[in-house]
Amino acid sequence: MNILFIADPLESFKVYKDSTFAMMREAARRGHQVWACEQPDVTWQRGGMVQAKARHIELTGLADEWFYVKTTDTVALADMGAVMMRKDPPFDTEYLYTTHLLTQAAREGARVFNRPQALREHPEKLAILEFPEFIAPTLVTCNIQAVRAFHATHRDIILKPLDGMGGAGIFRVREDGLNLGSITETLTRDGTQTIMVQGFLPAIAQGDKRVLVIDGEPVPHALARIPQGGEVRGNLAAGGLGVAQPLTDKDWHIARTLGPILAARGLLLVGLDIIGEHLTEINVTSPTCFQEITQQTGFDVAARFIDALEARLSV
């Protein structure tokens, strides 16, 4: 089977930890043909089908020059066995436009994962609003006075942009309110851009857990990303330490409640972020942590994922 990965430039991959690479490696191990392109390579023209200028690659097994290009060709997405949308955030207008092209490709017969419509309907920070029973006190607003009132009630809060990744743009304001005005004005662009504000969760000291859910079923180990050096952010990109650990009873409950709902919407792979007992994000664009969990626990996340992909395609 030919599998097309729409991803960031292959040359930028850190193969020792990249989850898309882990998917590619497992797919290739099973004899599938791996193709790759970038977001701007996907096009459509009247009279034709959604297509991409893509590279058919072979994995070398080396750490540095980890692939070589067998051929470059323009392929119709509907002619691929599967199309994996693995472009990292931000979910900007270009990403949105690509999901519309992928929806058209799906109309033409392409099998796209995660489902493009579901990507559009589940913005990673806002998707938690559907499940208020699992989340911390949360406010979504661009109103500066509303943020001040939320802080007055909860005293210790986290503010973050809705389109960030890797912990970028996240601020904590404690009870003294130091810099609350400046931070709020900056993040909201003087009250014109919507942000998320949440009550601070002290359990972040034990890690921001990434729970992977594959076709509705949780992976039994989470990666707890533990803040280091006085940081409030556990994100690996912000220097967090990744420690794999078994799911807690609450993790299982959250994941098994959300998993079937999200899978039914076409989300084959989801990354739930959980701090303590609270759901903080639902990641659907390009969930990561495959390799860290596998390396520390022996549970082969990539194999479980390709099993699920093959099962979906056989239906």
Q: Which residues contact 188 (CB under 8 A, 6 or more apart)?
A: 142, 144, 147, 194, 195
55 is catalytic: no
Catalytic pick among 233, 235, 251, 304: 233
Catalytic pick among 111, 283, 292, 304: 283
Catalytic pick among 125, 208, 215, 292: 125
Q: Determine the longest span between alpha carbons in the chain, in angstroms.
A: 62
Catalytic pick among 55, 86, 111, 160: 160
125 is catalytic: yes
Catalytic pick among 87, 210, 251, 304: 210
Backbone φ and ψ of 292, nearest 5°: -60, -45
53 is catalytic: no
Catalytic pick among 225, 251, 292, 304: 225
233 is catalytic: yes
Catalytic pick among 235, 273, 292, 304: 273
Q: Is 107 helix (H, G, I), strand (E, B) or coil?
A: helix
Residue 19 structure tokens: 């989850």
Rounded Cα gap, residues 227 and 229, in angstroms? 7
Catalytic pick among 115, 281, 292, 304: 281
Rounded Cα gap, residues 281 and 32, in angstroms? 32
Cis, peptide link before residue 143, omega less than 30° from 0:
no
304 is catalytic: no
Q: Is 114 helix (H, G, I), strand (E, B) or coil?
A: coil
17 is catalytic: no
Cis, peptide link before residue 90, omega less than 30° from 0:
yes
- The angle formed by the CA atoms of residues 98, 102 and 107, to the nearest 5 degrees, is 150
Question: Which residues are identified as catalytic?
Answer: 125, 160, 210, 225, 233, 273, 281, 283
